[in-house]
């Protein structure tokens, strides 16, 4: 089946399967992007956490979809974010063909532990708009700041493209510079996860892949809540 997914959707595709209680939340947000349905956010409490990431394209594996999922999809007028959300909520088993866009293929996670909530200046991250993608790129790290004094293989570095930012345990897609800058300003104390893509040849280019289970210090202490206004065609499940 994994080979079938790659054949149909490309080399960046994979099969993801999880089980859940029927008629229960999945903990992800979906959004329409052209003819595709993309992941907009993933909560730390989601059974799909660590398996799908913001920006991934979601398609149903029809051959392995069980009755509840297949029935909802069959009754949907079109395959959009709302139809998939309803299907995900109803199903007890999800079989998904997940495609990672080429830009996001090498994305890795960096965790920054903050002790205050004064925004990006306190974290020490200066961002600029990337001309090619429109996303936020790390312009510089303020010397002596939290971000600049990190050590290890999972450090942040100038040139990194920021593709997702966490907020209260939920990882959000940030497809524009404006959205990334806004979320950085709203960053609170605790563990902040930045999902970044490093240019080929950039310093410390071998980042540690994000594990499905986080270190205890990076786990949120409370359930994630939505505090931002969802864009058109956005839905959470």
Assess contact for 172 and 163: CB atoms under 8 A.
Answer: no
158 assigned to some structural domain = yes
Inter-CA distances, 1 with 48, 57, 196, Å: 19, 17, 30
DSSP string for residues in 164-193: EEEETTEEEE--SHHHHHHHHHT--SEEEE
Assess contact for 179 and 41: CB atoms under 8 A.
Answer: no
Asked if pLDDT for residue 204 goes beyond 60, the answer is no
Neighbours of 133 (CB within 10 A): 15
In terms of domains, do 112 and 213 share one? yes
Q: Which tens digit of pLDDT belongs to each residue from 45-80?
A: 999 999 999 999 997 765 555 555 555 555 554 568
Q: Mean of the per-residue pLDDT values for the chain?
A: 76
- Name residue 109's beta-bridge partners: 195
pLDDT at 111: 87
195 assigned to some structural domain = yes
Q: What is the mean pLDDT of residues 105-134?
A: 80
Answer with the one of 74, 102, 130 that is the final residue of a domain: 102
73 assigned to some structural domain = yes
224 assigned to some structural domain = no
236 assigned to some structural domain = no
Assess contact for 212 and 48: CB atoms under 8 A.
Answer: no
237 assigned to some structural domain = no
Of 132, 137, 98, 125, which Cα lies nearest the Cα of 14?
98
Answer with the one of 82, 102, 122 that is the final residue of a domain: 102
Q: Which domain holds residue 26?
A: 2-102
pTM reported for the whole predicted model: 0.75
Percent of the chain scoring above 70 in pLDDT: 65
User: Rounded distance, CA 138 to CA 124, Å?
Assistant: 10
């Amino acid at each position: 089946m994994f080979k079938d997914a790659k054949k149909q959707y490309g080399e960046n595709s994979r099969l993801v399967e999880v089980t859940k209680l029927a008629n229960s939340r999945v903990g992800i947000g979906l959004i329409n992007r052209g003819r595709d349905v993309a992941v907009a956010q993933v909560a730390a409490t989601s059974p799909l956490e660590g398996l799908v990431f913001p920006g991934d394209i979601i398609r149903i594996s029809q051959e392995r979809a069980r009755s509840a999922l297949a029935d909802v999809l069959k009754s949907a007028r079109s395959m959009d974010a709302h139809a998939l959300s309803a299907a995900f909520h109803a199903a007890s088993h999800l079989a998904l063909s997940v495609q990672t866009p080429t830009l996001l293929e090498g994305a890795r996670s960096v965790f920054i532990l903050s002790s205050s909530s004064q925004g990006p200046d306190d974290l020490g991250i200066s961002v600029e708009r990337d001309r090619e993608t429109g996303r936020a790129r790390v312009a510089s790290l303020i010397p002596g700041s939290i971000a600049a004094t990190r050590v290890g293989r999972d450090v942040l570095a100038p040139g990194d493209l920021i593709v997702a930012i966490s907020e209260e345990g939920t990882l959000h897609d940030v497809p524009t510079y404006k959205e990334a800058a806004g979320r950085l300003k709203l960053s609170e104390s605790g563990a902040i996860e930045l999902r970044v893509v490093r240019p080929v040849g950039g310093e410390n280019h071998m980042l540690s892949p994000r594990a499905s289970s986080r270190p205890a210090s990076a786990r949120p202490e409370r359930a994630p809540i939505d505090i931002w206004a969802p864009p058109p065609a956005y839905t959470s499940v």
